[in-house]
Each structure stands twice: as structure tokens, then as C-alpha cells.
Structure 1
């Protein structure tokens, strides 16, 4: 990713930091109610009830020995998502709204006999002025793309990724997600989606970043001057 584009990206993101913090459905500083679900290999996964929903919200976190800018770039690059999200068969940018907002399409390939899921996400991101913390907020958008036969369109989902610089070289990555799969899903698969999914995603992200395989990819290169 070109240095000039990265600098412009972070300058534009800084102006949105306060706005994004107020938008996050998984409220920053609200740590009550989280139940430990899995703790292994330095990755911790929690869940908590959400009022009015039968689906629990999930939080997962991990420390990664990687540069802050590389972690942000990897998570913003939709083309890289299938490399760290094992259920994701396809991810692409539908529309670029600004330097700090876009619309992405995600197609998840679920095991038979469960129908595949897909969704259209509005993503807004920000970076603190001192580049110590970044957030990527995503929520479902309706009416952007026609539904595709054989895929159930997810209509209720939101989440936030938080990337923070660590005390030493490295970053701390946290993801909080609440999504309704939109139809019946077997218990074993729901567990895979809600607990194993975030766990494996952070494990894969850590591997990509620490092995320097987390290339920013063509999506961000095309945006560079």
C-alpha cells in the first residue's frame, strides 16, 4: 500500500474517531455480562445475552506481534477476508463512499444441508489522531443488491473491530459481533459460527500478520494514487 495513501487514510480517519465511538452498538467500556466461552493459545472468546434477541453477542480478543498499520490494512481489505474467515467464500467492495466508508458484500459458504448466507455491510472506520487506536464499524444494509438464489440474505448483523497499539511492539485486536443468521441453524453449527468462528478468525489473522503474509492486497492498492 502506497505511503501517501496510508497517510491520507489515517488523517481522514482521525476526524471520525469521536463519531464512531458513539455509534458502536457494542458500547465501549460496557464490560458487564460477558461469559467466558473459550480461552486457548492466547485467544479469548466471550458471549453475552442481547435484549430482544435469541442470539448471543460474541467478543474475541488476541495480542499480535505486528505493526498497527498492517493490522488495520488487513482488516480493511475485503479481498483478504477469505484468508482469515474460514466460512467466507467471497468478499468484495460494492461501493466506495469515501476514504473512511465503503459498502462490502460477504458470501459465507455453510456446510450442507444449511443454506449459504450472504450480507451487504456498510463499513465506517476511524483512527485516533495519535494512531494508537482504530475502529472498524460494520452494519447490515438492505436494498443494495438483489438476493441470490440459494443464499439466505442476513438482515440483522452489526459488529466492531478495535485495533490498539500494545505496550511493546505489537497490537491488541478485539472483535464484537451480534448477528442473526436468518433462519434455523443446527446447534453444532451455531456454536461453530458464534465461538469457533471468531476464535479461528483471530488465529488466522495473527498468523497472517506475524508471518507477514497479510499483504494489503489489490483492493487497497487500487485506491492508492
Structure 2
């Protein structure tokens, strides 16, 4: 038995950041915190905006190495699908849509880098549609899970409620990027959407511990 000389909090942070989810969520949190900081200046800070853009680009590259994980998730879901019908179909939708999203985003990324021919703007727009579809299915699934709970103690529902809040924050922020005329698209200020995205990111990072 070897006793760790590092503080438990540092051990937890290292364990979190050794995983794809942990690294992605901390980079995402820093990206939106930087974007929020940039927008808090008048005029907006070019330095913080540039840093946020670099972090977002890093996440895009990281995600291209998560395709095997998504395929594994699809196979795992088929083996142990939820018993409830609504929850099951929502889970299928979330996993399936995210898998397609990853493929479309990879093509969009390559097109944006001029490695292949393609309309990267249109492809990234489809990524937004797919992401919002997965988020909506995730929201419905979490509501269904909470509705079917027989026990409502804080310890039992904390994870489900946090995940629901995270999905809702991302959905609110993402919908604002849709073409004008769809729900509240274009009606929220950039700083407001950055706040929603930051909340979702911090919840995601917290859940990796």
C-alpha cells in the first residue's frame, strides 16, 4: 500500500483531466469564461476573444479522437438499453445523433482546413441542428427519469437534476444561433448565451469528479 503525498483535491483533478470528458469540459469552461471576459469589456477584449477561439479550436481537434468512444457507446446501449420505452428511444436518439454529429463535424473540419472540398459553413450548420436534436432528446429523457423516480431525496436526484440543467442551458444557448425566426434565435445577447454555456460547462466538469 502506497500513501499518496498529493492532496486529495489534486488527485481528483488529475484523475478527471486524464479522461477525455474531463479535459473537454475544463477546456470548454475556460473557453466560455474567456469569451465572457472578452464581452465584459467595451470594446470587447481581442486578447480574451482570441484565447477563447484557440480553446474552441482545441476542443474541435480533441473531438476527432472520440469517435471510437461514441461507437462503443452505441454498442453498449444496444446491450443494456433502458427498460422504459420513452427513456430507451431518447437514449437511442441521443447516442445515434451524437455519432452522426461526430462524422459530419469531422468532414466540416476537414473542409474548413481546405483538406477536402466542401461547404464547411453548411456542414457546421448541420452540426448545430444535430446537437440541438440530441439536447432536446436528452432533456426529454431526464424529465422522464425524474418523473419515474419514487424517491426524491437530494442525494438521489442531484445528478439527474444537474444533467437536466446542463442540457437546458446548452439548448437555450444553442437555439440562439439558429436562423432568425426560430424560437428565440438571435434574441439573446452574446454575453447571455456565454453565461448559459459556461454554467453547462462547469456542471459537466463537476460531474467528471
Q: Which has the higher contact order (CA 8 A, sep 6+)?
A: 1
The answer to which structure has the higher helix fraction is: 2
State the TM-score, normalizing by the size of structure 1: 0.24
Report the structure, 1 or 2, having the larger strand content: 1
